[in-house]
A = this chain, B = another copy of it.
Amino acid sequence: MRVVIEHEVGKSLGNITSDASNSVVPDRVGLPLTGGALRLARSILRYETVRAPQFIDITDDVEGVVASSGVSDGWVTVFSRHTTAAIKINEHEPELLKDLSRLLVSVAPEGGTYFHNDFTVRSVNMNEDECPNGHAHCQHLLLSASETIPLVDVRLMVGRWQRIFLIELDHGRARDVVVSVMGCEPDPPSEDGAGPQAGR
């Protein structure tokens, strides 16, 4: 079976007019690609959160998993295994994180009234240490459990300001994030001594 990696450079896709006042001009920007054997890798990262909302920048850890995965070109999916902790990409600027936290709290404040918090009515999924966290589930509804990011040359193709956050919405505890990597190795492994560009 062949694995073919292809990248088009500089091929114009024509003009777009999404509405009358637009002057959108699509263009392609080229990046070099290399190829090799297909690899799948996965790691679970565990974090101890301390409060909510808490934005934990896990970008360096995700990059660490990618670096050790042996995958050069492909994808990484970052997945939170929790219904009250989310994964989102945004800028890591401390003042901005205050704004984002304030928005989440305004959407669903912890002190609000939630059916989920009425333990006199609820009968499903009740634990001995059940905490009222309807606000955290509501905030999560508007966020995401995962982000999928393309990889090139063993690097995340994120933009200059993009950082990956685990967002704690409930209260401090252990949280698991699954980092899954799929793609090709940088070099064709010892086929005929040719370089990574050979045979493409």
* Interface positions of A (Cβ within 8 A of B): 1-8, 11, 13, 16, 18-19, 21-31, 33, 35, 37-51, 54-58, 60-61, 64-65, 68-70, 73-75, 77, 79-83, 88-100, 103-104, 107-108, 114-116, 118, 121-122, 124-125, 134, 137-138, 140-150, 152, 157-159, 161-162, 176, 178, 180, 182-185, 189
Contacts and interface: CB of A to CB of B under 8 A. Distances in A.
A3 B178 CA distance: 20
A89 B145 contact: yes
Contacts of A149: 79, 145-146
Number of chain copies forming the complex: 3
For the complex of A and B, the 7 pairs showing the least CB-CB separation, nearest first, are A81-B159, A95-B115, A96-B116, A2-B37, A6-B41, A27-B46, A98-B115
Contacts of A2: 1, 37-38, 189
27 contacts: A2-B37, A4-B37, A6-B70, A7-B42, A16-B47, A16-B56, A16-B57, A16-B60, A21-B51, A22-B50, A24-B48, A26-B47, A26-B58, A27-B46, A29-B45, A40-B184, A74-B182, A75-B180, A82-B161, A83-B90, A90-B140, A95-B114, A95-B124, A100-B141, A142-B143, A146-B149, A150-B180
B40 A24 contact: no
A193 to B, nearest CB: 17
